[in-house]
Structure 1
Amino acid sequence: MYNLELYKVFYLTAKSGSLSKAAKELFITQPSVTHSIKQLEELLGLILFARTSKGVELTTEGAVLFSYIEQAYNLIASAEAKMDELRNISDGEIKIGGSDSLCKHYLLPFLEVFHEEFPHVQIHLVHGTTPEIIKQLKEGRMDIGIVRSPRHDEQLHVREGITLQDCFVAGPKYKALAGQRLSLKQLLTYPIILFSRNSSSRNLITSLFLQHGYSLQPEIELGSVDLLIEFAKRGFGISYVTEEFVTKELADGSLFKIELDISIPPTRTGIITLKNMPLSMAAAEFVKKLEMTQQTDM
């Protein structure tokens, strides 16, 4: 690997878009910055920057290199932050990734209790699908991921979370279906509402329909579980949601569960962390207490 200082000069120049700004941040002269970039370009055999009237901008090849170097800098910054956090559980910072629904219905009640015990620990929530959370975890942008049906990955340590059961629900407009047991073919005669993103729950139900010879094409796609619930309540169609997230609506009668002649397999949540990345004291305590809470609820 080439001199890390050359990559540092490259990174700061790319980030600022200016040779003079990079020189100022590095406490060196502008010619020294230019020389370092030229050295790196010669070593790699590629042109990394193009001069513009406003400074410099990355070439296509430079942009590819920057995407990797940026990840390295994020990991270094995370490492430095971890060194501070490892010394103290009472303050520190925890970055947690999860879907909107898992954050609201699963994590939020626990976060309230954790925050009362450790009020000075800063908690940052990042929303995304399982693939997005795993990507950011590997890039060092977060400490812990809470995901549905985590796949085997050699880089990840997975702790089992709670079991979740997905189901189809409808509002009063479709009350004639209450108590009936529908086939998949019968269900498809009604407007189906699904989550619009590439979520694990949507992939599961799509695959289940395909296994039985049916293509599940939603009439409406929505970007949040709250909208799925609201649209079903207002009679736009039959929504596919997680049963544990609509207990209130099922109890008050604003929604009812559609019974099918097949079983929808349950899924488990997973608490994921990087195998070779030590957690700060605050993050480790968070995971420990979350696991204990789950065992108590089971």
Structure 2
Amino acid sequence: MLTDFRLKVFETVARRLSFTRASEELFITQPAVTRHIRELEQQFGCRLFKRSGRKVALTEEGEKLLVPARRILKEYALLNEVMAGDSSRLQGYLHMGASTTLTQYVLPPILALFHRMYPDIRVDLMDGNTECIEAAVVGEVVQLGLIEGSGEHADLHYRSFIRDEIVLVTAVSNPALVRREWTVEQLRELPLVLREAGSGTQAVVRKALGEKGILENELSVSMRLGSSESIKRYLSKSNACAFLSLFAVREELERGALVRVPVRNFDVTRVFRFVTPHGEQSRLSGLMIRFCLDYYNKM
């Protein structure tokens, strides 16, 4: 695979803000990462990174280099795709970003099968909420994003992936809640654990409640947490409820650790979506999109 490896090292350190993580991603030693960066700094006659303890940050000169470096690496990727010919010979790097629910519960089996079929394609998956992933695609930190929210960024192209249901759940040990049906209006009375601001799940719930005339600030919020896993652990020790993706709670529902709290005439659904920049997408991004769609169509 043709590339400028020193620029690749620089871009990886700039994206991960860590020499150690860059070495792990690139499968080279940390001294090798340091050597490549030092050679670039000698070539340009300036420092590209500044260190403070274990923290790494771009200098002003490093910020200037990052945009053209990514543009050059993108051209190398395009060149490799053009010359690859048969898709079975595809190789290269695919930087993806996905919302937390997708990263934890939807993508792992897909990526395992993808790696088995395309072992020469390195996939690096970034985790974040919907707003973070959209920003990463716009900033060309990742080539392909998958989100759970309803973003409408003017610089991005959205394509539907799969449908998801968001359900209200609580611990099976919460007898006050599991044996009755609630109305939408009574949701104001329930102690709730919500996701953080910027969460795609929370944005969908907020919109669904708003359509029923209920504002988020009218809810009885016990806690806000940053992931479905942390919320599930919280529920196991409390009498609170939470709106979570069915993908996230399917296992707990099946083994009886959590139960659904029925709410009359209140169904919350959404569509997970692919996010790419406008214009022609990379061959690897297109391959991953088709692979994901085929996986769930067969299921």
Same fold per TM (> 0.5)? yes
CA deviation map 1:172-212 (0-9, x unaligned): 23233224111244333332111124112212222333442
- 2:167 touches 2:243 (CA, 8 Å); kept in 1? yes
Identity of aligned pairs, percent?
A: 17
Instruction: Report what 2:77 is aligned to.
Output: 81
- Higher mean C-alpha displacement, 98-107 vs 227-236: 227-236
TM superposition shift of 1:217: 4.8
Instruction: Report what 1:216 is aligned to.
Output: 219
TM superposition shift of 1:138: 1.9
Please give the alpha-carbon distance, in whole angstroms, between the structure 2 residues aligned to 1:296 and 1:198.
32
Instruction: Report what 2:295 is aligned to.
Output: 293
TM superposition shift of 1:158: 2.4
- 1:95 touches 1:123 (CA, 8 Å); kept in 2? yes
TM superposition shift of 1:114: 0.8
TM superposition shift of 1:263: 1.5
Which of structure 1's runs of 4+ aligned residues deviate more than 6 A? none
Q: What amino acid maps onto 2:248 in structure 1?
A: F
TM superposition shift of 1:226: 0.8
5+ residue gaps, structure 2: 1-13, 15-38, 47-57
CA deviation map 1:231-250 (0-9, x unaligned): 11232511221122211111
Please give the alpha-carbon distance, in whole angstroms, between the structure 2 residues aligned to 1:272 and 1:257.
31
TM superposition shift of 1:149: 3.6
Computed over aligned residues only, the root mean square deviation of the Cα atoms, in angstroms, reads 3.1
Please give the alpha-carbon distance, in whole angstroms, between the structure 1 residues aligned to 2:150 and 2:184.
27
Instruction: Report what 2:175 is aligned to.
Output: 175
5+ residue gaps, structure 1: 1-14, 16-20, 34-57
Instruction: Report what 1:106 is aligned to.
Output: 106
Structure 1 counterpart of 2:42, from 12, 20, 24: 24
Asked if residue 253 in structure 1 is aligned to residue 256 in structure 2, the reply is yes
- 1:78 touches 1:140 (CA, 8 Å); kept in 2? no
Please give the alpha-carbon distance, in whole angstroms, between the structure 2 residues aligned to 1:159 and 1:92.
24
Give 1:270-289 correspondences, 5 Å limit.
270-280=273-283, 282-289=284-291
SS of structure 2 residue aligned to 1:194: strand
Q: TM-score, normalised by structure 2?
A: 0.72
- 1:209 touches 1:216 (CA, 8 Å); kept in 2? no
Instruction: Report what 1:243 is aligned to.
Output: 246
**How many residues of Structure 1 are paired with residues of Structure 2 in the alignment?**
247
TM superposition shift of 1:294: 2.5
TM superposition shift of 1:124: 0.1
Please give the alpha-carbon distance, in whole angstroms, between the structure 1 residues aligned to 2:190 and 2:253.
20
CA deviation map 1:5-33 (0-9, x unaligned): xxxxxxxxxx9xxxxx988314xxx7xx9
Q: What amino acid maps onto 1:108 in structure 2?
A: P
- 1:74 touches 1:139 (CA, 8 Å); kept in 2? no
SS of structure 2 residue aligned to 1:272: strand
Please give the alpha-carbon distance, in whole angstroms, between the structure 2 residues aligned to 1:230 and 1:189.
22
Q: TM-score, normalised by structure 1?
A: 0.72
- 1:75 touches 1:139 (CA, 8 Å); kept in 2? no
Please give the alpha-carbon distance, in whole angstroms, between the structure 2 residues aligned to 1:228 and 1:23.
45
Bigger Rg, which one: 1
TM superposition shift of 1:103: 1.2
